[in-house]
């Protein structure tokens, strides 16, 4: 199977992939919901971190545990845990994240019945030395719990090794994003999205081989492919699990050239220093410095300034906010982000997503109108 087909098939059914691959490799799998989950430590323990992205099916069993005013990621994630579709997981780790995920951790622990459960309650503040110290402490505690639970040891060398592996994967993802930004026509509109999903669910060494092979096969100067004649936009929000969005946007006349999504650029942003005395402190420092998720605090305007900079740097014409309905941290930031964009003369469009995006007809109406609004 060539890399692109491999990515496509993983995207198509991540659970099936995990089940089969686990059988082949015997690797244990730990699920996680949030880009603050310390994957490097999981990887260093010889486990395979697997990002949980809700469900594509109907939510039924989770209704017994969660109200309707809870976001689709949390509801869908619980559904998948309860209905057996995550039977390959050996457990999951919850790095706090937000009010909803915090409660999901309890409900999951009490009902899902996986062998292992971890809470790594990271700091919410990422702006002080005591928060950094606490982050290091929590990461070390998680490292110890993980080692105890799986009867292994996680040496400093193993963590350094994992850091190296992750730095290399993240570099490749950055290269992929940069290629798309330079020549959006190189890929089908949703290809990068599918690869990002694969990056978060595939057994990481296999993913690294595949992404290398994929990038080697890309000719960045392929004649006539680069320029699509479409307008350039960036996405901002939490998770995106709908490749259709990219296809529809392209049909409406715009290419996504970068994003501020936690399943996107925020996943690979920030290189971990490989030359310090303490590998766990190095991990903590990446989290302390990376663009924040709105559920964390750095300073009160950092996200907006970063977003405006991103739009300018990417020479994009506008921003599409992709917000999960009932996601409080993102909903709180939206008005001020929009204000900063307005002041910078950057048009934006808000799209609220429940279990599914709005019906295609309505979505196209919004996209087409928005694309018309953007200056050429």
Partner 1 sequence: MAENEKKHDPEKEKRKIQTVSRMKEIMTDYYIEAKGARENGRKVAWITSGGPVEPLIAMDVIPVYPENHGAMIGASKMGAQLCERAEEMGYSRDLCSYARADIGDAVAKTGPIGGLPEPDMLVCCNNICGTVLKWYETAARFFNVPLFILDTPFIHREFTDSARKYVLSQIYEYISFLETHCGRKMDYEHMEEVGRLSVEATQLWQSVLDTCAHKPAPMTAFDAFFHLALIVTLRGTQVTVDYYRQLLDELNDRIDRGIAMVPNEKYRLLWDNLPVWYRTRWLSDKFAGHDAALVADTYTSAWSGMLPDITGQTFLEAMSETYTKVYINISIDRMFDIVAGMIRKYDVDGMVMHSNRSCKPYSLGQYDLRQMIMDRLGVPTLIIEADMVDERSFSESQIDTRIDAFMETLKA
Partner 2 sequence: MITAGIDIGSITAKAALIEDNRLLGTRLQFTGYNAQKAGKAVLEELIAQTGVQREQIALVVSTGYGRNSVDFADKAITEITCHGAGAHFIDPETRFVIDVGGQDSKVIKIDAAGKVLDFAMNDKCAAGTGRFLEVMARAMEADLDDFGEISARAGNPASISSICTVFAESEVISLISKGETRENMIAGIHESVASRISAMARRVGVTEPVMMTGGVARNPGVVRALGKKLRVEIRVSPHAQLNGAIGAALLAARMQQAA
Note whether 121 binds partner 2 by CB under 8 A: no
Give CA–CA dist 261/249, Å, rounded. 17
Give CA–CA dist 218/196, Å, rounded. 17
Contact 150, 41 (CB under 8 A): no
Give CA–CA dist 39/45, Å, rounded. 10
Q: Locate 194 and state its tokens.
A: 């599918």
Q: What does the per-residue mask of binding to partner 2 show for 2-21, with x meaning CB under 8 A? A: --------------------
Note whether 366 binds partner 2 by CB under 8 A: yes
- Residues near partner 1 (CB under 8 A) are 64-67, 69-70, 74, 94, 96, 98-100, 102-107, 109-111, 119, 121, 123-125, 128, 130-131, 133-134, 137-138, 141, 294-295, 297, 300-301, 325-326, 328-329, 331-336, 338, 352
124's contact among partner 1, partner 2, none, with CB below 5 to 8 A by partner kind, is: partner 1
Q: How far is the CB of 316 from partner 1 (least distance, A)?
A: 21
Give the number of residues in contact with partner 2, rule: CB under 8 A.
Answer: 15
Q: Which of residues 304-363 bind partner 2 (CB under 8 A)?
A: 347, 350, 352, 354, 358-359, 361-362
Q: How far is the CB of 367 from partner 2 (least distance, A)?
A: 9
DSSP readout, 83-115? TTTTTT-SEEEE---SHHHHHHHHHHHHHT--S
Exposure string over 102-129, b if 16+ CB within 10 A, otherwise e: bebbebbbeebebebbbbbebbeebeee
Angle at CA 292, nearest 5°, toward 286 and 295? 125
Nearer to partner 2, 2 or 365 (CB): 365
Q: How far is the CB of 344 from partner 2 (least distance, A)?
A: 14
Q: How far is the CB of 127 from partner 1 (least distance, A)?
A: 8
Nearer to partner 1, 66 or 257 (CB): 66
Nearer to partner 2, 258 or 370 (CB): 370
- Which residue, chain included where needed, has tokens 């799209």? 351
Q: How far is the CB of 338 from partner 1 (least distance, A)?
A: 6
Q: Which of residues 58-97 bind partner 2 (CB under 8 A)?
A: none
Exposure string over 204-230, b if 16+ CB within 10 A, otherwise e: bebbbebbeebbeebeeeeeeeeebeb
Q: How far is the CB of 74 from partner 2 (least distance, A)?
A: 20
């Amino acid at each position: 199977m060539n890399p692109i087909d491999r990515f496509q098939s993983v995207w198509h059914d991540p659970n099936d992939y995990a089940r089969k691959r686990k059988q082949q490799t015997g690797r244990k799998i730990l699920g996680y919901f949030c880009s603050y989950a310390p994957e490097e430590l999981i990887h260093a323990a010889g486990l395979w971190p697997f990002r949980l992205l809700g469900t594509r099916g109907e939510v039924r069993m989770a209704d017994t545990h969660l109200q309707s005013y809870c976001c689709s990621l949390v509801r869908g994630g619980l559904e998948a845990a309860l209905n057996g579709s995550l039977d390959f997981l050996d457990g999951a780790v919850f790095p706090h994240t937000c009010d909803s995920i915090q409660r999901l951790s309890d409900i999951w622990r009490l009902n899902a019945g996986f062998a292992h459960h971890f809470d790594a309650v990271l700091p919410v503040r990422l702006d002080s030395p005591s928060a950094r110290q606490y982050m290091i402490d929590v990461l070390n505690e998680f490292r110890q719990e993980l080692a105890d639970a799986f009867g292994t040891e996680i040496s400093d060398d193993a963590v350094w090794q994992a850091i190296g592996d992750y730095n290399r994967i993240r570099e490749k993802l950055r290269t992929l994003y940069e290629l798309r930004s330079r020549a959006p026509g190189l890929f089908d509109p949703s290809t990068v999205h599918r690869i990002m999903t694969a990056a978060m669910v595939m057994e990481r060494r296999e993913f690294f081989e595949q992404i290398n092979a994929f990038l080697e096969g890309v000719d960045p100067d392929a004649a006539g492919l680069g320029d699509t004649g479409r307008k350039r936009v960036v996405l901002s929000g939490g998770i995106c699990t709908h490749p259709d969005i990219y296809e529809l946007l392209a049909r409406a006349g715009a290419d996504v050239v970068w994003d501020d999504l936690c399943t996107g650029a925020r996943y690979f942003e920030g290189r971990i220093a490989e030359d310090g005395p303490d590998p766990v402190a190095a991990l903590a420092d990446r989290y302390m410095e990376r663009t924040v998720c709105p559920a964390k605090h750095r300073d009160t305007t950092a996200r907006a300034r970063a977003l405006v900079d991103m739009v300018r740097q990417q020479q994009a014409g506008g921003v599409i906010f992709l917000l999960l309905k009932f996601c409080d941290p993102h909903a709180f930031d939206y008005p001020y982000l929009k204000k900063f964009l307005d002041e910078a003369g950057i048009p934006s469009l808000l799209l609220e997503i429940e279990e599914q995006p709005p019906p295609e007809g309505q979505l196209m109406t919004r996209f087409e109108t928005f694309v018309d609004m953007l200056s050429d």
